[in-house]
Copies of this chain bind each other. A is one copy, B any other.
Amino acid sequence: MVADSMGGLLELEIVAATADAVRARVPVTDGLCQPLGLVHGGVYASIADQLATAHTPKAAHAISNQTSFLRPITRGTIHASARARHRGRTTWVWEVDITDDERRLCALVRVTVAVRP
């Protein structure tokens, strides 16, 4: 499955998905990088938002996103592994690990999603 977003810039490929976990990858392209060649911080936030909202059942929208930037990615593939840590009546909380091709942790994202009861 491939989801298009940001005018096709963010090509998100779902690798595996269960009820409360989903893994995806995104190829690094020039369009995702700053002039210095690092992937934009907003890209990690976007990937996490999309995984979290698409995999929360019922009409869901993100109410907050907290991203910690640990290590830059400059090429190859962005790997995202998302887990629903909390599945409440009105909110779900997802934690998403972003890693590079060497499996090094590059960003941590926590997304809080509002669900409609």
The residues of A with any CB-CB pair to B shorter than 8 Å are 5-9, 29-32, 34, 40-43, 45-47, 49, 61-72, 85-86, 88, 90-91, 93, 95, 105, 108, 110, 112, 114
Contacts and interface: CB of A to CB of B under 8 A. Distances in A.
Contacts of A61: 69, 72
B93 A90 contact: no
A11 to B, nearest CB: 12
DSSP majority for the A interface? mixed
Given A9-B7, A31-B7, A70-B88, A112 B41 contact: no
Contacts of A110: 66, 68, 108, 110
Contacts of A45: 41-42, 45-46, 65, 67
A55 B49 CA distance: 26
B70 A93 contact: yes
B41 A65 contact: yes
